Structure 1
């Protein structure tokens, strides 16, 4: 614990004083000029560093939960002070420049914020918080929304990209959720339909495991070719609106990746009951179907939720690649940014993917733990 606290503190201080905190460029594509802690900043950086040291020393002391909570409060204050300093410096640097000029967060800011996030999670765990990651994610979301409404983010280039593409981001987010949710539903249906057939189980397990070694881009290309062949063999499908490019091949490819965790989660759930419990169910006269519904699935519910958690996070991440075949989603913003060498545009598409993944992971993990305690 002490080593982890020391590492996060050292990383945060290195980000604050050794790396550039901001980068000023003439436009969104130009290479930015670095701005370090001693330039264009007020006392906020030094105050944040002092709070980081105080919080880290208190946390590394290995005291009570109250001490850990106080350390977390100091670290949270350091994060807010750092954020305020970055935002105000960005506004000052952007003032008087042409409209095309950009002020972006640089490596030092991202490093310090990442280190502070890790330190806050450590403090939360030491203080006895069950879900420090979820609380931290929610706190960051509230802080960003509040800072945006207060105008503190007006000078940050990421906010300018958000304003310029707000409608596009909203539609891409909806497309992403539909693609990930549709693929997850398709995989669940495939697993449920194949599980009752004993002769299919070995083949499904082999096929699902084999899919995992195929690169995602190659699988997308294969699904596009498969749908194209189907359209050529059955022209009526094309007349019905089916296309070789778009959400269909992306849905099939993402669902193929999700079958394995769902399949093995279902198998683990069915194996979860103790043999003595199953013998007791048969002694009570329960039929195989009643045993499945009343014994196997309730006892195996944590394994099912765990498999759903893994598959859901996978679906959100893999749906990003759907943009390569015209399926839309947040991936099209990411790939647009890559094509234009625009880091802020890449972040604009990638950050919601990360946020969605963390949120789904946190919610389903909490549900899994609660169900496990019930069982």
Structure 2
């Protein structure tokens, strides 16, 4: 057992214990807007709390004592079981605490519950990294999602405030997810095409760098507002565009604004990926008769693939986060739910919109991260 690994396990163990026993696991309020009364430890999660603590400590002990794939393979299911047991305990605790209260009463997950989940997921991530096998993380995420889905369908989570908000808005949530993906995907495609076009303008690379770097310091709200004004001016000058379905509010300015922020990582990724090929390899390829296009397709692109996918990974995650602000200009998406929750001072409604954004971002990061690793193994092994 190395000192660093033991220290990391000890820190996570202390954080888990502090979350489960020192912070409120649930908060019970008269309604969704009122301040809640905190419920701690076993009063909130019953005997599940002690079981979660035991499982978490056992998993961390395995990671610290048994390095490598064996310890990781044994610890990961333990952390997954701890997360599911914690969710079940909080659901059962919410049911017990709301018993006999008015129907408007709510039981929300408290800071301790969220912190405990974060600690357990961090430990699970440690296990995945220690296992060092492509696809292991995706299998773990799928298993955890299946377990949570089973718990939700069993009804044990029904009295948690987040579940109540989901039942009230599940149709709106599905539509918002689709809108969010359209905004993020459309902006990513537009930014990719624009970055390629900018990279082809060799004489203007200095100006391109100034522009794409300067956009990063402009506040997103200000940029979106400026784009709404610009769209309004263009539509006033060319009324036929309005008849074609374009509007100053909606997806148009949102996609353009998001794409503007994605230009820097994509443009730099293209420059680093295609320009990082050793000159000796390019000379050798040209010496055997390959043309410029063949050199690009057969030499530069394969060798630069990890960098290119890495840039796409950064831009994809960034686009999913920035798409939240599309709601400010009437583009919809998950940001609409988040801002509705902020306007109503309803934390669980905010979470209902924010958690899918986090999930989509993590999924995009994991998927493109796996693609980046695959490209690196294929072309740089």
- Shorter-chain TM-score: which interval? over 0.9
Deviations 1:173-193 (Å, cap 9, x if unpaired)? 111000000001111111222
Q: Give the equivalent residue in structure 1 for 2:332.
A: 328
Residue 348 in 1 paired to residue 332 in 2?
Answer: no
Instruction: Single out whichever of 94-103 and 271-280 deviates more from structure 2.
Output: 94-103
Q: Distance in 2 between matches of 1:195 and 1:157?
A: 50
Q: Which segment drifts farther, 29-38 or 319-328?
A: 29-38
Quick check: 1:223 aligned with 2:227?
Answer: yes
> 1:105 maps to which residue?
109
Give the helix-richer structure, 1 or 2: 2
* 2:99 paired residue number: 95
Q: What SS class does the counterpart of residue 39 from structure 1 fall into?
A: helix
Residue in structure 2 matching 1:53, options 51, 57, 72: 57
2:24 match: secondary structure: coil
Runs of 4+ deviating beyond 6 Å = none
Structure 2: gaps spanning 5 or more residues: none
Q: Report Cα offsets for 1:191-211 as digits up to 9, x if no partner.
A: 222322222322222211110
Correspondence list, 1:11-90, <5 A: 11-63=15-67, 65-90=69-94
Residues matched between the structures, number: 375
CA contact (8 A) 2:339 2:350 kept: yes
Partner of residue 206 from structure 1, selected from 210, 216, 225: 210
Q: Structure 2 vs 1, CA of residues 132 and 265 (structure 1 numbering), >3 Å: closer, same or farther?
A: same
**Do 2:88 and 2:157's aligned partners in 1 also have CA atoms closer than 8 Å?**
no
Is contact 1:104–1:158 with CA below 8 Å preserved after alignment?
yes
Kept in 2: contact 1:102–1:156 (CA 8 A): yes
What is the TM-score normalised by the length of structure 1? Answer: 0.95
Who is 1:317 aligned against?
321
Q: Would the alpha carbon gap of residues 287 and 68 (structure 1) be closer, same or farther in structure 2, given more than 3 Å must change?
A: closer
RMSD across aligned positions (CA): 1.7
1:236 is aligned to 240
1:196 aligns with 2:200: yes
Deviates more, 1:237-246 or 1:310-319: 237-246
Moved more, 55-64 or 162-171: 55-64
Query: Equivalent residue for 1:162?
Result: 166
* CA distance in 1 between partners of 2:275 and 2:176 (Å): 40
TM-score for the superposition, normalised by structure 2:
0.94
Structure-2 residue corresponding to 1:124: 128
Q: Which residue of structure 2 lines up, in the alignment, with residue 262 of structure 1?
A: 266
Equivalent position SS for 2:200: coil
Rounded Cα–Cα distance in structure 1 between residues aligned with 2:76 and 2:342: 37
Partners of 1:63 and 1:322 in 2: CA distance: 45
222-231 vs 134-143, which moves further = 134-143
Q: Deviations over 1:10-56 (max 9, x none)?
A: 11111111111111111110111111114254321112222222322
